[in-house]
Chains A and B, each alone.
Chain A
């Protein structure tokens, strides 16, 4: 087990290194740089920018240096000082900008995960047990619709309804009056009032997918010989169901916990943008559009770290949950 963990850990570091370089190069690839997109935005506001100003800016930001030097400085600073560089867009250290949004991002992600599992697993099991019943058909239909509806559309619809019928303030996770307020009961309520839309929006497609997965894998297990044997042995139906088929059926869910977390955090920028959520999604998209390199690079790194760590956790969990899975080279 220790050997397995250490080995995995070394792979993780190597993957991170490779990913960081790929990320940096990818972010550099599109034409133009931060100075260009800055000029763009200023021009949109009608404010003139001269070529001279742009050259000054490139020089000040070090954009006139070759990419490998810029990459080298960036990585060295992260490794030696934990300094992820400067966000030119926000004129603040990258760590600060991301740090400001990470807690709410994690809260949102966690709520969504809980929502997904709490809704999907019971429904999936129920559907499997009552296969082809009316309820199964209803759940399936709703599930397919959830899977097929684009998240941003659902977000727009729910927001419109929220605004029209509840007079709810749009965008963000707080009403403006609670934005800077210290934590209080009112602020928590305000957060909850706003949280349900993104949680539902972010959760639906995942929930639908999970329902199908749980239903299918539970169905697979229900016909297995050991289930019949146990049933014949007189085990109560509920206990039997939970102890064997469901446990097996959870394998694919455990296996995907790693990237599901990342999916919720990084894979939802569109919803974040549409709803102006103070999570990392819109920040990520904007940093890419603005070619704010260190911020974009920093976020890619964090997302990758989440995926890699998540996969690592999944691997360990799988071994624990399912004794049939053996560690490589250990059999």
Chain B
């Protein structure tokens, strides 16, 4: 999965560089266009893409670079250099899915508002050092040209492309990476503690510039999950920042930074910097300042974002070309309209949106499917969403409740009491698949794991409860094992559950004699209670996909989440303080903590990786820590028929894969 050494062919191509490069504008040899559908004999090391030098070597051809007509006037007037001077010497060549596209057009998207959890548009132009391919497995070069790990995966040397430029034409170099790590991430004024992804083995990352195009990350411990993080979970965080642009805002480089910030209305340079820079790139796109901020993304912001829309235009310095030599992206503009979520459907039916992949709920599927012809779009239905999870808080403060919830028989009984088939029919049109909540896309989960205790067996559930000493009274309600009345208070939030789900499941539990009270509360309150370990049931979790498992294993060990912990906050504290505070975890949780520590250092795909993965799944499952309900729920998404180079099988639409990111929006084109 991870290429440890730079590939042989890219080493070769490095040699060939210089000699092979002869590019000019105009007069494209548009005849040839190897695509994914028809590669015309082109072989690639990584799926669907290769370096320009490698392409030249294979074709023996001098690929003539051609330019977007959008920039013609600027090139003519001298405001922009010609295209061969704008793209890196060893540009990244894409094989488009179907055809070398046509320039032009405006890609229209929809979201509720900025950062509302409804916008996939950030993924249309984003870039990072590496990207995950559309096989959802392979990490491929992107901004980075190549990389090389040391033997124990504690040090990685990454090469950039020579002549790569920011959208303002300034060279992009290793200095921009060093600046990001040393002056932003490790800057105590901005980040009192270094973000955990850059904190390995208790020490922050060390970054060293090797030469203009090369830098090295050194970690205190092996960190083979780094590239997976950058390609997936961290795909929205670019690991570099334009040094020349941000320097004036930092006190370190500009003694007057504080005065200037105050003059601009901020309280000081720290606050000012916080407003114009954010590693979550969406946030910094909002300001007027964004109009001047250089980027490596395929499109740069064009109009100041207001409360109704934002708009981007193609980046003239984008570093990718297609296999016929046209600079990418094809699509001139991207437009995101802010609309109330309820109107997404009407707007979609009207054909007012070209791609909508996030937040079209399953409930609307029949309506949007019916409108396909009128709206001139196609509905895809990638599966992969999961139904709600139920986690009993085994570390709840109330001792008599804790006695019940920490008994594995109780948790097993609760899983057996749920009628998942009925839930599927009632809530999800029968489109889902009853399943436990086990990691997705990993090689070490079996069907047996998925089906563990998912059958509806109230009798077996009752037997387990009897065994625990929870006696059934004449009113059909069980007491606690201590003989006192037992009531389960199920507080839930609309964000992670629906009231229909809570009602149905609590009815199943009532049928086996558990007295359940259901109550909706706010997410904030729920999180406060979860953190203080006073909630009975927690539900805020997302089942890990392989890349998240690799790069952020904390999502699969107690307390499973930082913000809305599921179970075991005191256990984590105990481990973190070497037993000085918190509570000693039970044996199984201890084992998970141990395994996670080893896992972080293990090479993905190795035998040890499979071994540990298998054990972690088994521990979580056999202790029924997380009770899953439904898997494989489709997430409908809509793509306009006017677009080409769209994947035939749109298999994923999920944050863990950066939404549309794997499908290379920079090579989408209007027909």
Q: Mark A43-85, 1 if CB is under 8 A from B, else 0.
A: 1111111111111110111100000000000000000000100
With A and B bound together, what is the CA distance between A54 and B118 in angstroms?
Answer: 21
The answer to the question of B254 belonging to the interface, with a C-beta cut-off of 8 Å to chain A, is: no
Cβ B307 vs Cβ A90 within 8 A: yes
Cβ B196 vs Cβ A52 within 8 A: yes
Q: Mark A129-169, 1 if CB is under 8 A from B, else 0.
A: 00000000000000000000000000000011001000101
Q: Which residues of A, 271-305, contact B by the 8 Å Cβ criterion?
A: 273-276, 278, 282-283, 286
How close is A92's CB to chain B, nearest CB, in angstroms? 7
Q: Mark B305-334, 1 if CB is under 8 A from A, else 0.
A: 011110100000000000000000000000
| A43 neighbours in B (Cβ, 8 Å) | 117, 495, 540, 563-564
With A and B bound together, what is the CA distance between A147 and B116 in angstroms?
Answer: 34
Q: Which residue of A lies closest to B495 (CB)?
A: A44
Cβ B115 vs Cβ A41 within 8 A: yes
- Asked, given contacts A92-B286, A176-B335, whether A51 binds B562 with beta carbons under 8 Å apart, the answer is yes
Q: Mark B228-242, 1 if CB is under 8 A from A, else 0.
A: 000001001000000
- Asked, given contacts A41-B117, A160-B346, whether A52 binds B195 with beta carbons under 8 Å apart, the answer is yes
With A and B bound together, what is the CA distance between A45 and B114 in angstroms?
Answer: 11
| B102 neighbours in A (Cβ, 8 Å) | none
How close is B92's CB to chain A, nearest CB, in angstroms? 26
Q: Mark B184-211, 1 if CB is under 8 A from A, else 0.
A: 0000001111011000000000000000
Cβ B193 vs Cβ A159 within 8 A: no
Q: Which of A37, A41, A170, A276 contacts B338 (CB 8 A)?
A: A276
Q: Which of B233, B236, B524 contacts A36 (CB 8 A)?
A: B524
Cβ A53 vs Cβ B195 within 8 A: yes
| B342 neighbours in A (Cβ, 8 Å) | 274
How close is A287's CB to chain B, nearest CB, in angstroms? 10
Interface-facing stretch out of B71-79, B267-275, B509-517: B267-275
The answer to the question of A329 belonging to the interface, with a C-beta cut-off of 8 Å to chain B, is: no
The answer to the question of A206 belonging to the interface, with a C-beta cut-off of 8 Å to chain B, is: no
Cβ B113 vs Cβ A286 within 8 A: yes
The answer to the question of A91 belonging to the interface, with a C-beta cut-off of 8 Å to chain B, is: yes
Cβ A169 vs Cβ B311 within 8 A: no
| A171 neighbours in B (Cβ, 8 Å) | 337, 339-340, 343, 346-347
- Asked, given contacts A43-B540, A53-B195, A62-B267, whether A100 binds B562 with beta carbons under 8 Å apart, the answer is no
With A and B bound together, what is the CA distance between A284 and B434 in angstroms?
Answer: 42
With A and B bound together, what is the CA distance between A93 and B524 in angstroms?
Answer: 27
The answer to the question of B586 belonging to the interface, with a C-beta cut-off of 8 Å to chain A, is: no
With A and B bound together, what is the CA distance between A87 and B226 in angstroms?
Answer: 35
Cβ B352 vs Cβ A276 within 8 A: no
| A49 neighbours in B (Cβ, 8 Å) | 562-563
- Asked, given contacts A53-B195, A176-B335, whether A48 binds B308 with beta carbons under 8 Å apart, the answer is no
Q: Which residues of A, 177-220, contact B by the 8 Å Cβ criterion?
A: 179-180
Cβ B542 vs Cβ A101 within 8 A: no
- Asked, given contacts A47-B280, A50-B195, A52-B193, whether A92 binds B287 with beta carbons under 8 Å apart, the answer is yes
Cβ B346 vs Cβ A47 within 8 A: no
The answer to the question of A89 belonging to the interface, with a C-beta cut-off of 8 Å to chain B, is: yes
Q: Which of A44, A176, A282 contacts B352 (CB 8 A)?
A: A176
Cβ A274 vs Cβ B340 within 8 A: yes
The answer to the question of B528 belonging to the interface, with a C-beta cut-off of 8 Å to chain A, is: yes
Cβ B563 vs Cβ A51 within 8 A: yes
With A and B bound together, what is the CA distance between A41 and B118 in angstroms?
Answer: 9
- Asked, given contacts A42-B117, A43-B540, A163-B349, whether A60 binds B196 with beta carbons under 8 Å apart, the answer is no
Cβ B274 vs Cβ A101 within 8 A: no
| B552 neighbours in A (Cβ, 8 Å) | 48
The answer to the question of B525 belonging to the interface, with a C-beta cut-off of 8 Å to chain A, is: yes
- Asked, given contacts A60-B274, A83-B265, whether A100 binds B307 with beta carbons under 8 Å apart, the answer is yes
The answer to the question of B522 belonging to the interface, with a C-beta cut-off of 8 Å to chain A, is: yes
Q: Which residue of A lies closest to B521 (CB)?
A: A31
How many pairs, one residue from A and one from B, have CB atoms within 8 Å of each other in the complex? 144
Cβ B350 vs Cβ A163 within 8 A: yes
The answer to the question of B656 belonging to the interface, with a C-beta cut-off of 8 Å to chain A, is: yes
| A90 neighbours in B (Cβ, 8 Å) | 114, 286, 307
How close is A166's CB to chain B, nearest CB, in angstroms? 11
The answer to the question of B288 belonging to the interface, with a C-beta cut-off of 8 Å to chain A, is: yes
With A and B bound together, what is the CA distance between A38 and B280 in angstroms?
Answer: 12
With A and B bound together, what is the CA distance between A51 and B562 in angstroms?
Answer: 6
Q: Which of B288, B308, B522 contacts A172 (CB 8 A)?
A: B308
How close is B268's CB to chain A, nearest CB, in angstroms? 10
The answer to the question of A257 belonging to the interface, with a C-beta cut-off of 8 Å to chain B, is: no
Cβ B542 vs Cβ A46 within 8 A: yes
Cβ A273 vs Cβ B192 within 8 A: no
Cβ B523 vs Cβ A40 within 8 A: yes
How close is B251's CB to chain A, nearest CB, in angstroms? 15
With A and B bound together, what is the CA distance between A215 and B262 in angstroms?
Answer: 60
The answer to the question of A21 belonging to the interface, with a C-beta cut-off of 8 Å to chain B, is: no
With A and B bound together, what is the CA distance between A48 and B564 in angstroms?
Answer: 11
Cβ A170 vs Cβ B347 within 8 A: yes
Q: Which residue of A lies closest to B236 (CB)?
A: A47
With A and B bound together, what is the CA distance between A274 and B307 in angstroms?
Answer: 16
The answer to the question of A39 belonging to the interface, with a C-beta cut-off of 8 Å to chain B, is: yes
The answer to the question of A309 belonging to the interface, with a C-beta cut-off of 8 Å to chain B, is: no
The answer to the question of B303 belonging to the interface, with a C-beta cut-off of 8 Å to chain A, is: yes
**Which residues does B use to contact A, with CB under 8 Å?**
108, 113-119, 190-193, 195-196, 233, 236, 265, 267, 270-271, 274-275, 280, 283, 286-288, 303, 306-309, 311, 335, 337-340, 342-343, 346-347, 349-350, 352, 358, 495, 522-525, 527-528, 540, 542, 552, 555, 562-564, 654-656
24 contacts between A and B (CB under 8 A): A30-B524, A31-B528, A32-B524, A36-B524, A40-B523, A41-B116, A44-B117, A46-B654, A46-B656, A48-B562, A50-B563, A51-B563, A56-B190, A59-B192, A86-B265, A90-B114, A100-B306, A169-B347, A170-B346, A171-B343, A274-B340, A274-B342, A276-B340, A276-B343
Task: Given A83-B265, A171-B343, A273-B340, output 17 extra A-B contacts at Cβ < 8 Å.
Answer: A43-B564, A45-B115, A45-B358, A49-B562, A52-B195, A56-B190, A56-B192, A62-B267, A90-B307, A93-B265, A160-B346, A167-B350, A170-B347, A171-B346, A179-B309, A275-B340, A276-B339
Closest 5 CB pairs of A and B: A46-B655, A44-B117, A32-B524, A45-B117, A170-B346
